[in-house]
A = this chain, B = another copy of it.
Amino acid sequence: MARADGRSPDQLRPVTITRGWLAHAEGSVLVEFGGTRVLCAASVQDSVPRWRRGSGQGWVTAEYAMLPRATNTRNDRESVRGKIGGRTHEISRLIGRSLRACVDYKALGENSVIIDCDVLQADGGTRTAAITGAYVALADAVAWMRARKMCAGDPLIGSVAAVSVGVVGSTPMLDLCYTEDVAAETDMNVVMTGSGEFVEVQGTAEGKPFDRDALNELLDLGIAGCSELTRMQREALA
């Protein structure tokens, strides 16, 4: 079965990772998965949240948001509505959790890194693109800190990448674009470390429930996709 853009089912869209896109941030990356474009900015702060003070340990967190016209029709700003929606909350939490899987809080010392992931343009898979780009921004921010002797050892104990997979028209596929995502019967996000272990697996039946075989096929695709993204992250950081 042919995909809209001619890809094979197990093929990623063209991915680009542009480091240093912003002048001020300690780490910044413009990550693109096809038409999905996310700006990831890592900000270093020499303090930690109140509940963490005095622990000798650091903290890493993330905030996700979309510009109003990242999508096909304009969405109202959450700042104007006066509150953050459930989807935004959910994705911000997922990105933060994913990044923390590769961080040694002790080595980080009592410092924080906040990663802002702002979707400039959306075409499916924004949360997984954000995680993949945010890791690179985090790595740059950590390098910045180490150059300034802010850390005791290396706070990065691995890397993290993520990709979406799904079943579209009975075919399991890697890295869904928006039109595929909308048509998917099952949708899964896979977050993995560079060494091939799972950080997060979130599979959701959109149209109808899925069986264990489908789950396994999707995991296979996700593992292969994350492995390739890990390679790209390494190249970008080289």
Contact = CB atoms under 8 A, between A and B. Distances in A.
Interface of A: 22-25, 28, 35, 39, 41, 43, 45, 63, 65, 67-74, 77-80, 82-90, 92-93, 97, 101, 114, 116, 118, 120-121, 123, 158, 192-193, 195-205, 208-212, 215, 219
A74 B114 contact: yes
Given A23-B121, A198-B212, 10 more contacts: A22-B121, A24-B70, A63-B80, A80-B84, A82-B83, A83-B84, A86-B93, A195-B209, A198-B210, A200-B204
Which residue of A86, A205, A215 has the most chain B CB atoms within 10 A of its CB atom?
A205
Given A79-B65, A82-B82, A86-B90, A200 B205 contact: yes
Nearest to A220: B212
A203 to B, nearest CB: 4
A43 B74 contact: yes
Given A80-B63, A199-B209, A23 B39 contact: no
Contacts of A88: 79
A202 B205 CA distance: 12
Nearest to A93: B86
Contact of A121 (B24, B72, B120): B24
A192 to B, nearest CB: 8
A43 B63 contact: no
- Which 9 A-B pairs rank lowest in CB-CB distance, beginning with the nearest? A197-B209, A86-B89, A78-B79, A41-B69, A43-B74, A79-B79, A201-B203, A89-B89, A25-B69
Nearest to A78: B79
17 contacts: A22-B70, A23-B35, A43-B69, A43-B74, A63-B77, A65-B79, A82-B82, A82-B83, A84-B86, A86-B89, A90-B90, A101-B205, A198-B210, A199-B205, A200-B203, A200-B205, A201-B202
